[in-house]
Structure 1
Amino acid sequence: MEEQNNMVRIAAVGDIHVRETDTGKWKECFKLVSQEAKVLLICGDLTDTGDEGEAQVLAEELKACTIPVVAVLGNHDYEKGRHKLIRNMLQKAGVHMLDGESIVLEGIGFAGIKGFGGGFDNHMLSMFGEGAMKAFVQEAVDEALHLDRALARLDSMESGLKKIVLMHYAPIKATVVGEPEAIFPFLGSSRLAEPLTRRKVTAAFHGHAHVGTLEGNIDGVKVFNVARQILKKEGYPEPFYYFDV
């Protein structure tokens, strides 16, 4: 891959849902993306059922990837309560696993969170009523705070540093359109969008909404739903979305 005008090409995908039977399925894809991009982002649902055996398959497949890999966990990775083990396994495999953390690669700042639900715009759930409802809303609030702190750390490193965010849940409604409206509150939250705009992020990538919409925008911040199922629907010949920063 040749860089033009000092641009850095990022590849992004979400919801790869690796299974224990997927040995050999991803190696060629990871070889190809290593030739086309400088950094690979994986936006959650790394495993299909949150099993460490699936994470081990992914770790082996990623040996074919020769560029830095940055990832966040998704809801599927939490299914069996083994998310910490999955995170540790992939970290040992060289993946930069972010959960309210940030990292600078190729001169670009990356911040990552899982995110959470809660709904969008005027239809966001409020912190009112039963304790369970308050806890649901608080989860999204906490995730937004974690993202803001990660972005603040990047801002403290270098003035004008370009910032990219990856998460699993959607920060805006536009990229979940296509899903049944009844489940919008479980696909993301507008609370995740506020740090993106205030911290002047260049772009954000997420997954989770398999039949949502590829691209949206909030106050000049580009937002992409790079769930593998979306990319396939849009006719991408390979399971990655490319973005030049």
Structure 2
Amino acid sequence: MNEDAARDIVRVAALGDLHVKETSAGAYRDLFAEISKAADALVLAGDLTDLGRPKEAELLAADLKACSIPVIAVLGNHDHECGSVDEVKRILREAGVTILEGQTCEVGGVGFVGVKGYGGGFGRRMLGSFGESATKHFVAEAMNEAMLLENGLRQVRSKRAMVVLHYAPIAETVEGEPEEIFPFLGCSRLAETIDRFKVTTVVHGHAHRGKYEGRTPAGIPVFNVAYAIEKPTGKPYALFEI
């Protein structure tokens, strides 16, 4: 997707963790209509559905008909729960959603790169690839997501770039969650990758009790846009001018 010429400012609305259920018909229709008036693009940071059921994706697709701006999304862990992830992606793509899994797209001169990300922990407490094969598989998944992100960032040609994740790249924006589950909320490997590129803004979800704002070690701003997080807009979505 390459939406029109570059603009001086692109307004991006971002939120995550909609958790659309089979009983959620029409729950987000008015919100998407409101966002369409406030922003030039909508970013969804994973957990679009509650259990990854196609019916849930269909309800979200129906609500997104009220959205008249480009919609860019990554999937979350909940979207994988039922093993119907390919069907969920098909339904949303047919509804016009650009789902990023290491790819890039551009709106108004802003490049968007997205991956789901994965767990593994942060900083010196980050899990290493050692010991049982199950541990090595866990770390390999995190490394693969970081590699997908790097490949996507290498494709960006615009001077402004937003990274879209579900899992957090830093510990700062998951603070408020129980420390025992930090390793399952994100991984520093994502931040290490981001810091090698010129990235304007990073958004993620997943940590419903986390903190809104933080920075990577190199100083790139990171925002937790999970639905439940309090945002400066006073709305469920954050709004960025990029």
Instruction: Specify the TM-score bucket, using the shorter chain as the normaliser.
Output: over 0.9
Q: 1:244 matched to which residue of 2?
A: 241
Match of 1:212 among 210, 216, 222: 210
SS of residue matched to 1:204: strand
TM-aligned CA deviation for residue 235 of structure 1: 7.3
Q: 2:224 matched to which residue of 1?
A: 225
- Alignment RMSD, CA only? 1.2
Contact 1:29–1:238 (CA under 8 A) maintained in structure 2: no
Match of 1:42 among 41, 44, 54: 44
Q: 1:191 matched to which residue of 2?
A: 189
Taking the aligned partners of 1:7 and 1:74, their CA distance within structure 2 comes to 28
Where does structure 1 differ by over 4 angstroms across 4 or more consecutive aligned residues? none
Q: Give % identity.
A: 49
Taking the aligned partners of 1:238 and 1:84, their CA distance within structure 2 comes to 31
How many residues are matched?
A: 235
Amino acid aligned to 1:226? V
The runs of 5 or more residues in structure 1 that have no matched partner are none
Q: 1:103 matched to which residue of 2?
A: 105
Contact 2:100–2:114 (CA under 8 A) maintained in structure 1: yes
SS of residue matched to 2:162: strand
Q: 2:150 matched to which residue of 1?
A: 148
Deviation digits for residues 99-136 of structure 1, max 9, x if unmatched?
A: 11110111100000000000000000000000000000
SS of residue matched to 1:193: helix
Q: 2:3 matched to which residue of 1?
A: none
SS of residue matched to 1:61: helix
Deviation digits for residues 13-70 of structure 1, max 9, x if unmatched?
A: 0000011211121111011000000010000000011100000000000000000000
Taking the aligned partners of 1:71 and 1:207, their CA distance within structure 2 comes to 11
The runs of 5 or more residues in structure 2 that have no matched partner are 1-6
Q: 2:4 matched to which residue of 1?
A: none
Taking the aligned partners of 2:68 and 2:178, their CA distance within structure 1 comes to 39
TM-score, structure 2 as length reference: 0.95
SS of residue matched to 1:230: coil
TM-aligned CA deviation for residue 236 of structure 1: 4.8
Mapping 1:1-245, distance limit 5 Å: 6-154=8-156, 157-158=157-158, 161-218=159-216, 219-231=218-230, 234=231, 236-245=233-242
Taking the aligned partners of 2:60 and 2:136, their CA distance within structure 1 comes to 36
